[in-house]
Amino acid sequence: MNCSIAIIQAIHTFVNAADTRNTSVLAAVMHDAYQNIQDGFFEQKGIFIFSKTRYIELIETKRFGGSPRTIKIESIDERGNIAIAKVILESELLCFSSNITLVNENSEWKVLYNVPNIRKKS
């Protein structure tokens, strides 16, 4: 994996800020056009798309986040100012297989999209 350390740091910052519900750090690492796109929302079926504002609200209301997760970056495809990472996150109860897209603006990597596949651990 030949990529910028800054990309890896941005991924870790994004995940850890959600896990600790640190919304100020989370907001800083998220792009203004951020979207979280997921298939299902707890027991509800369907595609759910959350904006940056809505995602932070879900963290603040303790619907998302609050559980420490391990982070395993499987791959990062960096192409200029865009990077796509395949990341496995595991908490005590859940496993997330995420595709995280980041963009480099003004020399800062920001998370633009997070597309998690979430499953309960057996």
How do the pLDDT tens digits run along the chain, 122 residues long?
A: 446 899 999 999 999 999 999 999 999 999 999 999 998 777 788 899 999 999 999 999 999 999 999 999 999 999 999 999 999 999 998 899 999 999 999 999 999 999 999 888 87
Is the entire prediction scored with pTM above 0.85?
Answer: yes
pLDDT value at position 4? 86
pLDDT value at position 43? 77
Phi first, then psi, for residue 25 (nearest 5°) are -70, -40
CB 93 within 8 A of CB 121: yes
Instruction: Sheet with 94-105: list strands edge to edge.
Output: 44-51, 30-41, 108-120, 94-105, 82-90, 70-79
pLDDT value at position 1? 44
